[in-house]
Structure 1
Amino acid sequence: MTHADRLLSLARTRGVLRSKDLAPLGIPRQALARLHRRGALERVGRGLYVLAGADVTEHHTLVEASRRVPHGVVCLLSALRFHDLTTGDGTSPQDPFDVWLAIEGKARRPEPEQVPLRVVYMSDEAFTGGAETHELEGVEVQVFGPAKTVVDGFKYRSRVGLDVAVEALKDYRWSPAFDADALWRYAQVCRVSTVIRPYLEAVA
């Protein structure tokens, strides 16, 4: 199998190729450049390529961020939009143009890339609990579930705004995915149970 064949096979399997991943596989970056010039691969970001004509979804930036920071978990505004827990219209601060990504407290901060990241450091169960795996464009992406995301909104209310956190709680309360036990469990893990309690009682 030629380098080109291997790259096309990887693109079909992974969805998104990172040029920095090729060296450990023994594939020169020039092979990637040649396929790009031939039109077999499309460049969707710095060092990121997909098959030409690939079905790129609305979640493509999450895929790019996940490929660049595989140990990260999509959180806060990006996770709210993923779970349809925000009423943003494309112009309000609720719309996460940047990708909000949680990383473990001791992990190295990702280097600046073309995909703008809002990095949030978390530790212990606040980081390990509540993450779900979703396959997007053939890539496994870690996203905090709805309950954990709503709780994080209150924990990081100084960064996203209390109004955003309250609106997300209202949307979640009346969604089919609502899980009061999970919400309260994560509120205790993140130490915001006293903060979230009156708002939860108000929408009960």
Structure 2
Amino acid sequence: MRLKDFAARNIGPETLARLVREGIVVRPARGLYRLADQSADARRTLAEAAVLVPKGVVCLVSALQFHGLTLQMPSSVWMAIERTAWRPRIDYPPIRFVRFTGSALTEGIERHRIEGVAVAITDPARTVVDCFRYRAKVGIDVAMEGLRESLRRRKATSDQLWRYATKARIWPTMKPYVEAVANDT
């Protein structure tokens, strides 16, 4: 929660400071608070990142992990922000930023409620295409795992992958991988 969330519930800054001193509430990052008995997990970390970067979109390996398309546990939350946007300085949770422009930041985005927070996350097909687009950063093995699992679990179709890859202009690069995995399954 943020300070404004406490204020909406008629909890003032003095009361919040007292709750932090008493150890009932912890402050993992500037402007971010949570109950002390709540442990950090992957989903909560996504919600915390979404609170701190409200216009950001969870993407790449973090989105693969959210959709259950990889066994990778990213050490940072991957978030996309507008190309010209100011890059926030955040110590916790660790966030790796990538820059998207125009429709790349709005198309193929799903909103999920996590811990009461609306979190923007790329859909499975879009996530796989983005992993191929940023394969130098995430690794081709991660992109292949996401592709294989998305087709095997029917979370994405070849047509959806083609549509996103064509818009991203990477279909010629991605096509042999999609065909190989589609023939394999």
TM-score (norm 1): 0.79
Conservation of the 8 A alpha-carbon contact between 1:125 and 1:189: no
What percent of counterpart residues are identical? 47
Unaligned runs of 5+ in 2: none
Give the equivalent residue in structure 2 for 1:77. Answer: 61
Equivalences, count: 182
TM-aligned CA deviation for residue 181 of structure 1: 2.2
Distance of 2:24 and 2:62 partners within structure 1: 31
Change (3 A) 1:23 1:111: farther
TM-aligned CA deviation for residue 60 of structure 1: 1.3
The SS at the match of 1:34 is helix
Letter in 1 for 2:71: T
Unaligned runs of 5+ in 1: 1-16, 89-94
Distance of 1:25 and 1:105 partners within structure 2: 35
Give the equivalent residue in structure 2 for 1:125. Answer: 103
Give the equivalent residue in structure 1 for 2:160. Answer: 182
Q: Does 1:147 align with 2:131?
A: no
Give the equivalent residue in structure 2 for 1:12. Answer: none
Q: Does 1:48 align with 2:26?
A: no
Change (3 A) 1:44 1:111: closer
TM-score (norm 2): 0.87
Distance of 2:97 and 2:27 partners within structure 1: 24
Distance of 1:27 and 1:87 partners within structure 2: 40
TM-aligned CA deviation for residue 109 of structure 1: 0.9
TM-aligned CA deviation for residue 49 of structure 1: 1.3
Say what the alpha-carbon RMSD is for the aligned residues. Answer: 2.4
Distance of 1:70 and 1:25 partners within structure 2: 20
